[in-house]
Chains A and B, each alone.
Chain A
Amino acid sequence: MKKTILFKTLIDILFFCLCLTSISALLVVPLGLGSINMDDQIVENWDLFSILIIGLSMISYALLIIGIYFLRKVARLMLNERYFQKNISLFLKKSGNFLIMSSIASILMLLIAFAKKILFSQTIELLYDSDKVLILFILIIGFFFNIQASIIKQSISLKQENDLTI
């Protein structure tokens, strides 16, 4: 299987999994079919902190889905193996921007959850969670996509120059 086809297939699977998760969350939460736990804090009273945390979590997830959606567009354009296209650069930049925004929203959410713990639990726990490292990874990937978009943009101009050298 070609690398580009494999890449597109994996992005598609990721995109549909993310969509499925968000749809199931939208159905489960309002119907009260499951409890909402944030960082092992069971939400009983909907105070400002809880609303902020759930709001930021939803925003972060939505931004991640949009970022992956633009990456899907990039993967689709890459299928014909013509990488120096303006649209690839444009969609990659958009994808990077959304991934950066998503990870920033996640970091804010974590900070608010931590602040809530300090204020209400009276005790401070510092736990290392490998899942949190993924947020940092998404932030790095977002910046990488942004840089990669600039590289492709420069490459397009160099290719154009090369094509017009007689």
Chain B
Amino acid sequence: MPIIVNLDVLLAKRNIKSKELAKIINITEANLSILKSGKAKAIRFSTLEAICEALSCQPSDILEYVKEKE
């Protein structure tokens, strides 16, 4: 998938654990893991908003577009 989720990088920068973030944004750790690993097919605006609020960042900090090699 050409959309990369940089959530683990942000978490490391902010020194926040996945468990804590999951608790703050009110999603399960399993779902956060899916999001972090890039296995997620889509992300809801409400989830993105909650992550941005919790980590004080912009959506562009979390999501990145990388063109796939043909």
Contact = CB atoms under 8 A, between A and B. Distances in A.
Interface of A: 160-161, 164-166
B7 to A, nearest CB: 10
Interface of B: 27, 31-32, 34-35, 39-44, 47
A160 B41 CA distance: 9
Contact of B35 (A160, A161, A166): A166
Contacts of B39: 164
Contacts, number: 23
A49 B63 CA distance: 71
Contacts of A160: 41
B41 to A, nearest CB: 4
Nearest to B31: A166
21 contacts: A160-B41, A161-B41, A161-B42, A164-B39, A164-B40, A164-B42, A165-B40, A165-B41, A165-B42, A165-B43, A165-B44, A166-B27, A166-B31, A166-B32, A166-B34, A166-B35, A166-B40, A166-B42, A166-B43, A166-B44, A166-B47
Nearest to B28: A166
